[in-house]
Structure 1
Amino acid sequence: MSARLELEQVIARHTAQVGATQRLPNEWVMNEMELGAARRAAVLILFGAAGEAALEPQSQTDDLDLLFVERAATLRKHAGQIAFPGGGIDQEDPSVASAALREAWEETGVDTAGIEVLGTLGETELPVSNFLVTPVLGWWHTESEVYPADPEESAGVFRAPVAHLLDPRNRLTGVVHRGTRKFKSPAFDFEDRIIWGFTAIVLDRLFNELGWTRPWDNRRELRMA
C-alpha cells in the first residue's frame, strides 16, 4: 500500500470521529486547559518527496520527508523548539486548512499552490499555551524553495526524511523537570536537532496510527529543560 493511501485512511478514521478532542499523554500534561479561554490553531504536517517520487502517488516512506521550522529563540512560547509550520487561526481564515497553509507560507515562504491538503487529524489540546491545535496533512506535489521567511518567528527551516525519523537509533525520550516533577515526551534526533514535546507527540501518534513505527528504546532519555 502506498504511503499516501495510508495517510488518507488515517484521515478517514479521524473524520469519522469529528468533534473529538485529543488530550496529550498524562506524563506530559504540566497544567490543565482553560477551555473557555482557549484559542484555536492549526499546524501543517507536510509530506514531501525527493526527485521524481514527488509526482508519484505510490511513494513509500523511504521516499518521503517532512517540513519543520526551528522557532526563534526570542519567542515568548516554545522558543527555540522544532515545530511544524503553523499558528493561530484568524477570523479571516476561511478554514482550518487555509490557516495552516497561510502560516506555513508566512514562516517558510513555501508556495502553497504546490500543496494538496489531504485532510485533518483530530483537534489536540496544548495546555502550556492554552491552544486547541488541528494538524492538517499536506502532500507536496510541486516543491518550492523554503527558508525562514519571518526571522522574528523562525530561526531555521529544514526537511527531515521520514526514514530517518523512524529509525530506532534516532528515537529517544525527552525529559523536562519542573521542581520535583518529571515530564516525558517522545523525541526524535535529526542532525543535532531534537524534535520533542507537542510536535513529537503528534508525530509519534501519527506514525503509530500509520503502522510505520519501529520498536525503539524509550528508556533512552535526554533532558530538555
Structure 2
Amino acid sequence: MLDSLPSDRDAQSSAVSRDLDVLLLARASTLRSHPGQVAFPGGRVDPEDKDAVAAALREAVEETGLDADGIDVLGPLEPVPLTYSRHLVTPVLAWWRRTSAVGVVDEAESAAVFRAPVADLLNPANRGVTVLRRDGEEWRGPGFLVRDDSGEHLVWGFTAMLLDGIFDRLGWTEPWGEAQEFELPEG
C-alpha cells in the first residue's frame, strides 16, 4: 500500500517525493507462519472474496484498520511463487487517495503497523543484504532497515524482494557501495 507521510530524508537525494510511503506491519511473534517478520498487509483469499484484489483490501482493513473507501486499487501484479512456504502470492498495488489512521487491530496477528517512507527505503544507509542460514544452506537477499515510533524493523525475505524489484523496475534504486549485512537468526 503506497501513501504519503514525510520522510526524514533530504528530498534532493531521492528519486521519489518525500511524502511517498509504504504500509507495512510486523507480524506477531506467536504466529506459526513467518512469526515476527515485516510484511505487507494481506492473507488468503476467502470463499466470500470476489478475487485477490478483494481479499487484499479485506485483509488490509482487518490487519491495519484503514478505511477502504479512501483506497484506489492500481491492480494486481503477477503471482509470485514462494518455494519455502509453498504459497502463491498475488501482490496488489493500491494508492491511498484519502489517508486514514492505521494501527494494530488484532495483537494475535500483528505486533506493529507502520508507514515506511520510500525515500528512507531507497537510502543506501538503510539498505543491505540479509543472510539467513538454515539446514546447512545460506540464503542472501535484500534488506531494509525501517525506523518508526515502535522501534527498528528489518524488512527481509519476500517483502524486501518485492520492494527491491519494484524499485528497480521504476528506476528508483540508488547506487550503494559496501553492503551492510543483516544476520538473521537461524530458524
Shorter-chain TM-score bucket reads 0.7 to 0.9
Query: Structure 2, unaligned stretches of length 5 or more?
Result: 7-15
Q: How far does the alpha carbon of each residue in 1:98-120 deviate from its partner, in whole angstroms, 9 at most, with x for none?
A: 10000001100111110000111
Tell me the TM-score normalized by structure 2.
0.88
Given that 2:22 and 2:116 are in contact with CA atoms closer than 8 Å, whether structure 1 keeps it comes out as yes
**Alignment partner of 1:224 is 2:184:** yes
* Distance in 2 between residues matched to 1:215 and 1:74, nearest whole Å: 37
* Aligned residue number for residue 19 of structure 1: none
Distance apart, 1:164 and its partner CA: 0.3
Query: Structure 1, unaligned stretches of length 5 or more?
Result: 1-45, 52-59
Q: How far does the alpha carbon of each residue in 1:4-59 deviate from its partner, in whole angstroms, 9 at most, with x for none?
A: xxxxxxxxxxxxxxxxxxxxxxxxxxxxxxxxxxxxxxxxxx111138xxxxxxxx
* Distance in 2 between residues matched to 1:218 and 1:129, nearest whole Å: 31
Given that 1:171 and 1:217 are in contact with CA atoms closer than 8 Å, whether structure 2 keeps it comes out as no
* Aligned residue number for residue 49 of structure 1: 4
Given that 1:173 and 1:218 are in contact with CA atoms closer than 8 Å, whether structure 2 keeps it comes out as no
Distance apart, 1:179 and its partner CA: 3.5
Residue correspondences, number: 172
* Aligned residue number for residue 87 of structure 1: 43
* Aligned residue number for residue 177 of structure 1: 133
Q: How far does the alpha carbon of each residue in 1:59-104 deviate from its partner, in whole angstroms, 9 at most, with x for none?
A: x532201100110000001100100000011121102111000000
Given that 1:146 and 1:157 are in contact with CA atoms closer than 8 Å, whether structure 2 keeps it comes out as yes
**Alignment partner of 1:117 is 2:73:** yes
Amino acid at match of 1:94: K
* Aligned residue number for residue 153 of structure 2: 193
Amino acid at match of 1:119: G
- Partner of residue 211 from structure 1, selected from 161, 171, 178: 171
CA RMSD of aligned residues (A): 1.3
* Aligned residue number for residue 63 of structure 2: 107
Tell me the TM-score normalized by structure 1.
0.73
Over the matched positions of the two proteins, sequence identity in percent amounts to 49
Given that 2:103 and 2:112 are in contact with CA atoms closer than 8 Å, whether structure 1 keeps it comes out as yes
* Aligned residue number for residue 83 of structure 2: 127
